[in-house]
Amino acid sequence: MTRRNSDGGFTLIELLVVIAIIAILSAAILPAIPAALDRSRVNTCRSNLTHIGIALRMYYNDQGGYPPGLAALHQTGFITDDTLLLCTKTGAPYYYEVPKPGEPVDTTVAACVDPKTPPGERPHSFRNSLVILQRGGKIVEVGRRGAATEPGTETKPERTSWKP
């Protein structure tokens, strides 16, 4: 016959086993947290660039040209929240280059950082990537495994309504 603890509590061995199981599960989950945070930053960046693309199209249709900088979109009321123009990780303004007439549709117009930034210094450091808005309205993640390797090539682009 086995003897049961008369006060109904847990034994030290049972508590240690539960703690060990929790530690193993935590160790399995912890590596996924930075990847999930970086993925959310990439999605926020895509969303911001979508808003910027739509605002650029509206500005182009109303003003007959492109703004000299992204701040002009906020100053003229095409973007009401100026935080859309800033990187969510670094707080730095988005990269912007005024499109020139006759440029191809895959030319980079805006990005979370300058496309020439080395992979180790990009804001999406876990993925070593950056997100760009092309002149034709496509939003592309560049530099991650399975994605485009150079601005101008594309993989799984998202379509926005911006296409002047």
H helices, E strands: number in the chain: 3, 5
Predicted local confidence at residue 125, as pLDDT: 67
Q: What is the mean pLDDT of residues 75-80?
A: 92
Residue 157 pLDDT:
44
Q: What is the DSSP letter of 120?
A: G
Show the tokens assigned to 23. 């530690």
| H-state helical runs in the chain | 12-29, 32-63, 71-75
Is 65 in contact with 72 (CB distance < 8 Å)? no
Supply the pLDDT for residue 20: 96
What average pLDDT does range 32-49 have in this prediction?
87
Q: Tell me the average pLDDT across 3-20.
A: 83
* pLDDT at position 47 over 70: yes
CA dihedral (78, 84, 85, 88) in degrees, to 10, reads 180
pLDDT of residue 6: 58
